[in-house]
Amino acid sequence: MIISEEQARLAAQALRQPSDSGGCPHVVVSPELLERVYAAILETPETRTERVREAMDYLDAGTPDPHEIASKMISRIISDSLR
């Protein structure tokens, strides 16, 4: 999943704030929602062919901008640090 610059900024901000629960501050998730998310994840195919096709088309169009790639990678790392 591609995250926006705003999501990356919020993730970085959340990492700087202490939290009693160890996760994102002020987030309450119901067990029902967790069950629905888990069921949806189980139904999701491991490889999304449309995303692979998009990536191949993107690469066929030319060399990707290395700054854009680095920004996306760093944003993903910051976001994943919240887990």
Per-residue pLDDT tens, the chain, 83 aa: give them: 677 888 877 777 776 665 555 555 555 667 887 788 888 888 887 888 888 898 888 888 887 788 988 898 888 888 888 76
Helix runs in the chain, H state only: 5-16, 31-43, 49-60, 66-80
- Its pTM stands at 0.36
d(CA 46, CA 78): 23
